[in-house]
Structure 1
Amino acid sequence: MEDYIVRASAAGAQIRAFAATTGNLVEEARVHHNLSPVATAALGRLLTGGSMMGSMMKNDTDMLTLQIQCGGPIGGLTVTADTKGNVKGYVNNPEVMLPPKNGKLDVGGALGAGFLNVIKDMGLKEPYSGQTILQTGEIAEDLTYYFATSEQVPSSVGLGVLMNHDNTVNCAGGFIVQVMPFVEEAVLEKLEENIKKIRSVTEMLKDGHTPEEMLAQVLEGLDLEVTDTLPTRFYCNCSKERIEKAIISIGAKDIQEMIDDGKEIEVKCHFCNTSYPFSVEELKELLKKARR
């Protein structure tokens, strides 16, 4: 199945909803970063949440960053997303290994105690920034808590990543359902009843449910209306030119020290792990630009 996001409303616009299937992009992230199973599950959930939250923003240039600072062995995670379904991210310790908990990957144990930071750059003087304490480290619950406390939007977030026995990604995806301030009590009660009944995201995806079918279950009896869909993908906009600018920005003194070492350097992109080599000759050219 191709990765895509569905945007929808229900109960006469009293509810807005998003759902996504993200198995391909999570597998791509796993391959780029050579992630352990628990790191794949953690980053996969945050990438999925980020892709849907990015699609909530209005302007083409808006950017979202989700950053988890935590004390667990994974060491932290960072994801960025735009409004077009492009998402990228990394974990600080991609090789983290933990025994399963209740037969499942122990994402909460990998994260431990910490904070979730949500930064929205919408082209204003200062980006919007919200921070909440991690509730469980399972990520879906942490995003639910963030929406309720920082944005005052009661929400339900479901996220899941299912791994194969060979540690590749079988499927991944999730949903975000939010109620508007004018929601009627009867609608809210029906939604809560539905959420109690539904199976986990991974179970629904494993059974081949599309994002539309997931939302149909979450919003059963609430007049679901799909408004649009958009593709989502793991995409990094790094390039040799961008890395060159970054090297120039560190200043002539540091570049000269690299040249004096007499060895080729290699710069890796955090977000996609792509390596960019620079020979001594190339560094000399960058030194000239840094001195201008």
Structure 2
Amino acid sequence: MKDYIVRAMAAEGQIRAFAATTRELVEAARSAHNTSPVATAALGRLLTAGVMMGSMMKGDEDLLTLQIRADGPLEGLLVTADSHGNVKGYAGNPDVVIPANSRGKLDVAGAVGSGFLTVIKDMGLKEPYSGQTMLQTGEIAEDLTYYFATSEQVPSAVGLGVLMNRENTVRQAGGFILQLMPFASEEVIASLEKKIAEVTSVTDMLEAGCSPENILEQLLGDLGLELTDTMPAQFHCNCSKERVAKAVVSVGKKELQSMIDEGKPIEVNCHFCNKNYSFSVEELKDLYKRASRA
């Protein structure tokens, strides 16, 4: 099944909903960064949330950034997404290995630790919107639920899951975000809370063969679910040699000159997709000229 996001409404517009299957994009991230199982689970959850939250934005050029800064051995996470279903991201320490939690599962909370979640939305205004909340559990879904309620004043339910194969490839990944509109009735709220309480886990639903549509049907089928549209989702980095060259130019003439004086090519790594770009001494000289003209 190709990765995609489903957007929907329920209860005559009192609930808006998103669900996604993201196995391929999480596997692409795992492959690019060679992440350990617990790092894959943590990064995969945030990538899944990011791609759904990106799809909530309206403008073609809008960008969303999710950043977790925390004291756990994972050393934080950074994910960015656009409004077209493209997402990318990385873990501070992709090699982290820690024991399983008390339930025998990957200990995402232990890897993440205590800290802060920051959400930045760049919608082409003078200043990007930025909201920050303390991590509540480090499990990521609960932290985003808390963020929506406190920073955006939108009561929400977030479910995220990543299931690994024994050989450390991604078996299942996906999630959902349900949000109550300000005019939601007490009856609708109570009904939704009851449904959410019945959900075992996102990965259980995916393992049972549920598509994003099936997940929303299970959660909202009794509340007049209306599917509005679908959107492909993918791990995609828009880095290029030219973009990286601009970053190299920005270090300044003094730094560039010292690189040239060393007489060796340099290699620059893109954090988001782990691709390396090489610049010869001749190319560095050209970049020095560009820096001089700037």
TM over 0.5: yes
Aligned to 1:47: 47
Aligned to 1:20: 20
| Structure 2 counterpart of 1:270, one-letter code | H
Cα shift at 1:133: 0.1
SS in 2 for 1:60: coil
1:266 maps to 2:247: no
Distance 2:199 2:43 in 1: 24
Aligned to 1:4: 4
1:230 maps to 2:219: no
Aligned to 2:157: 156
Give CA deviations for 1:8-63 in whole Å, capped at 9, x if unaligned.
00000000000000000000000000100000000000000000000001111110
TM-score (norm 1): 0.99
Give CA deviations for 1:204-245 in whole Å, capped at 9, x if unaligned.
011110000001111131010000000000000000000111
SS in 2 for 1:229: strand
| Structure 2 counterpart of 1:122, one-letter code | M
Distance 2:266 2:114 in 1: 36
SS in 2 for 1:59: coil
Distance 1:244 1:57 in 2: 30
Aligned to 1:77: 77
RMSD: 0.6
SS in 2 for 1:88: strand
1:202 maps to 2:231: no
Distance 1:147 1:28 in 2: 28
Alignment of 1:1-292 (within 5 A): 1-101=1-101, 102-292=103-293
Contact 1:70-1:115 within 8 A present in 2 as well: yes
Distance 2:289 2:194 in 1: 66
SS in 2 for 1:214: helix
| Structure 2 counterpart of 1:53, one-letter code | M
5+ residue gaps in structure 1? none
Aligned length: 292
| Structure 2 counterpart of 1:14, one-letter code | Q
TM-score (norm 2): 0.99
Contact 1:59-1:122 within 8 A present in 2 as well: yes
Distance 2:180 2:290 in 1: 53
Contact 1:88-1:235 within 8 A present in 2 as well: yes
Contact 1:194-1:220 within 8 A present in 2 as well: no
Identity value in percent: 69
| Structure 2 counterpart of 1:55, one-letter code | S
Cα shift at 1:199: 2.1
SS in 2 for 1:54: helix
| Structure 1 counterpart of 2:80, one-letter code | T
Distance 1:206 1:178 in 2: 25
Distance 2:249 2:190 in 1: 58
5+ residue gaps in structure 2? none
| Structure 2 counterpart of 1:126, one-letter code | E
| Structure 1 counterpart of 2:250, one-letter code | S
Distance 2:258 2:99 in 1: 44
SS in 2 for 1:221: helix
Distance 1:275 1:54 in 2: 27
| Structure 2 counterpart of 1:17, one-letter code | A
Distance 1:243 1:196 in 2: 47
Contact 1:172-1:202 within 8 A present in 2 as well: yes
Distance 1:244 1:187 in 2: 53
